[in-house]
Amino acid sequence: MIEKMKAMEAATTKGTWWVVDGGAHWNNPSITNFSIAWSPDAELVADTVYTRADADFLVAMKELTPELLALWEAVKKQQSAPDCHSTTLRKAFDALEKKAASMDA
């Protein structure tokens, strides 16, 4: 799953993403529309995101993914080492592996 996630991350639109408050949705003015932009001229990665929380989460995950994948790999290597005594780290790793397996199914 780590390699699959690395490939997905590598294929994403490059650059820094940010949230754009688009105001009223073009097709349904009763809802607020957010977008995710990435380029100096504000080209969009995602045109319609319905909540600010969702948009913020997507941008944060884009930014955090390389570090999370590096951490995942480091934990995976460490968990098999004989001197790995951190049960909290092990539980976190097991939960991450379980979640990844369910996403991969």
Structural domain for 64, as ranges: 2-104
Of 97, 90, 89, the C-alpha closest to 5 is 97
- Residue % of the chain over a pLDDT of 70: 87
Amino acid at 64: L
Q: What is the pLDDT of residues 46-87, one digit of tens each?
A: 988 989 999 999 999 998 888 888 888 877 777 665 555 566
The answer to whether the beta carbons of residues 101 and 1 sit under 8 Å apart is yes
Total domains, the chain = 1
Helix ranges restricted to H, the chain: 2-11, 52-79, 87-104
Token digits of residue 101: 């397996």
